[in-house]
Amino acid sequence: MSFNIIWLQAGSCGGCTMSALTAEDRGLMAALKAFDVNVLWHPAISEESGEEALDILQSVVNGTQTLDALCVEGSVLRGPGGTGKFQMMSGTDRPYSAWIEDLARHARYVVAVGTCAAFGGIPAASANPTDACGLQYEGAEEGGLLGRDFVSKGGLPVVNISGCAPHPDWISETLSLLATVGLNKDQLDISGRPRFFADHLAHHGCSRNEYYEFKASASQFSFLGCLMENLGCKATQAVGDCNLRSWNGSKGGCPDAGFPCIGCTSAGFENPPAAFQRTAKRAGIPVGLPLDMPKAWFMALAALSKSATPKRVQSNARSDHVVVPPARKRDDE
Ligand code: SF4
Ligand code: SF4
């Protein structure tokens, strides 16, 4: 029997759908089909619109159509004044948030696709004029639209495929897992993210790791050095196997592509302590240090690493191409 999903786009830029469409080598629809995942309705992909689309949603609410997974992309806009009227479901007199609540009650699993749906994301930044939140989180705080105690019919809290946008294969793998062997609570991390990607840090597998080891830092974007000390890279604090998997079928994640990791899989990434491409520092020391590493140890190791940095690494870190190649040490050195 098919595993039926409905995908809604709440307060969204559509980027998660754009990312999802490139899933695996074959594209999202073929990837889902291989696991018998059937898209009942997706606003950007499905042919049905207007009354036909509403009939599909209504059939789930009526109980005449089973829904295995409700996927929501984008934050829930609760404003103004808690009415949800900043985003109405076209053709109905009801806010999108009410439809999400109704459908979530009937779904076996509820899946937040992207950081907006998981934690609030960019629409929830700073003043948050639309009162945006995630499905089960408001930033790092549990709650959100469905409440901290929400558990879907399948016994799971909201499954948070965070990322802005999430890696396409995180989406297809999560849905495939739910459709086949299922997921249990132990396979989700403390923030509801599937551990198959959340047990890694975005720093793992970055091609700049040798520069990180020696704290040989880039001072401008074209340089090869590590982006943590000056250019805002938060990959040592952000979960995700982004740099272990390839994106777009070939390369690693953001730092491999020359852009600092902005921690897009984390709650609250939208309000960084400094501009996204600058490292927040106090007394010259980065504020955000690697997860689970005591500050004193980091400082001591960083000082030691810097004093031991090979000339090759130091020079290349400040260049946009390799200027000093690896060379064997002479016997008399
Ligand atoms: S650039 Fe970022 S991800 Fe790469 S080694 Fe440095 S801290 Fe890690
Ligand atoms: S490297 Fe960082 S910013 Fe890029 S996708 Fe991964 S977690 Fe997000």
CA atoms within 13 A on the CB side of 125: 10
Can you tell me the distance from the alpha carbon of 325 to that of 195, in angstroms, rounded to the nearest whole number? 38
Closest by Cα among 51, 27, 119 to 39:
27
Cβ–ligand 2 contact at 161 (below 6 Å): no
What is the amino acid identity at position 131? D
User: pLDDT tens digits, residue range 120-133?
Assistant: 999 999 999 999 99
Distance, in Å, from the CA atom of 158 to the CA atom of 69, rounded to the nearest integer, reads 10
For residue 238 and ligand 1, the question of a CB distance below 6 A is answered with: no
Q: Rounded to the nearest whole angstrom, what is the distance from the C-alpha of residue 166 to the centroid of ligand 2?
A: 8
At 297 the pLDDT is: 87
Taking 70 as the threshold, does the pLDDT of residue 159 lie above it? yes
Positive or negative: CA dihedral 132, 20, 13, 90 = negative
- Atom of ligand 1 at shortest range from CA of 243: 3
Distance, CA of 31 to CA of 149 (rounded, Å)? 32
Would you give the DSSP letter of residue 201?
B
Which of 248, 229, 288 shows the shortest CA–CA distance to 18? 248
261 lines ligand 2 (CB under 6 A): yes
* 206 pocket-lining for ligand 1 (C-beta < 6 Å): yes
Distance (Å, whole) CA 136 – CA 159: 9
Tens digits of per-residue pLDDT, 37-64?
A: 999 999 999 999 999 999 999 999 999 9
pLDDT of amino acid 25: 82
For ligand 2, pick from 161, 189, 262, 270 the residue to mutate: most ligand atoms within 8 Å of CB: 262
Q: Are 3 and 150 in contact (CB under 8 A)?
A: no
Residue nearest to atom 6 of ligand 1 (CA): 226
Residue-level pLDDT at 288: 84
Q: At what angle do helices 50-62 and 96-106 cross, to 10 degrees?
A: 40
Range in 43-47, 50-54, 145-149, 251-255 the model is least confident about: 251-255
Does 254 contact ligand 2 (Cβ within 6 A)? yes
Predicted pLDDT at 330: 65
Q: What pLDDT does residue 125 have?
A: 97
Q: Which atom of ligand 1 is nearest to the CA of 256?
A: 4
Q: What is the mean pLDDT of the chain?
A: 94
Is 233 touching ligand 1 by the criterion CB < 6 Å? yes
Provide the percentage of residues in the chain whose pLDDT is more than 70: 98
Q: Is the CB of 198 under 6 A from ligand 2?
A: no
At residue 76, φ and ψ (nearest 5 deg) are -85, 125
